[in-house]
Structure 1
Amino acid sequence: MMARPYCVVVALLLLPELSGFGEGASNPGFVARITRKGLEYARQYGVAILKKELSTIRLPDLSGSFQLSWVGSVNYEFDG
């Protein structure tokens, strides 16, 4: 089952080498500019994805207590 992702990775690594084989290109690649508008779009997209994923996660209810020397006894309760 792991052979398929491995083959895809190898193919992606070899793709730039094969595409510039006959051209004699010494520095194949591309240039990208990251703008404030692009960063804002990425942030909005990322927040939307995180909200969607977090809405599907269910956490168990937790409660307990512990001792801190400088505060004393601490009780906590987490209700999902």
Structure 2
Amino acid sequence: MLKEKVFLNQFTVAEQQVFELALDGYSGQEMQVILSKEETTIKAQRQNIIRKLGVSSMKEAVEKFQHLKYESPRKLIQP
């Protein structure tokens, strides 16, 4: 649980909401409806998550989160 909190704390509250929806398998369009946000806002937040995690896609970001239990806590925070 601590690893998950450390992982998510690198995101803004809005990015955390988008990421949590991504973890549940929602698409960008579904996120727009659920969060009542514009497409450009959701896209920007998704890109911020991807950049902060140093991955190339939201799918890869979700996979990284799902494999937390195997990672060292030092790997969680990007410099």
TM range (shorter): under 0.3
Q: TM-score with structure 2 length normalisation?
A: 0.24
Q: TM-score with structure 1 length normalisation?
A: 0.24
If you compute each CA radius of gyration, which structure gives the higher value, 1 or 2? 1
Q: Using CA pairs below 8 Å that are at least 6 residues apart, which structure has the higher relative contact order?
A: 2
Q: Which has the higher strand share?
A: 1
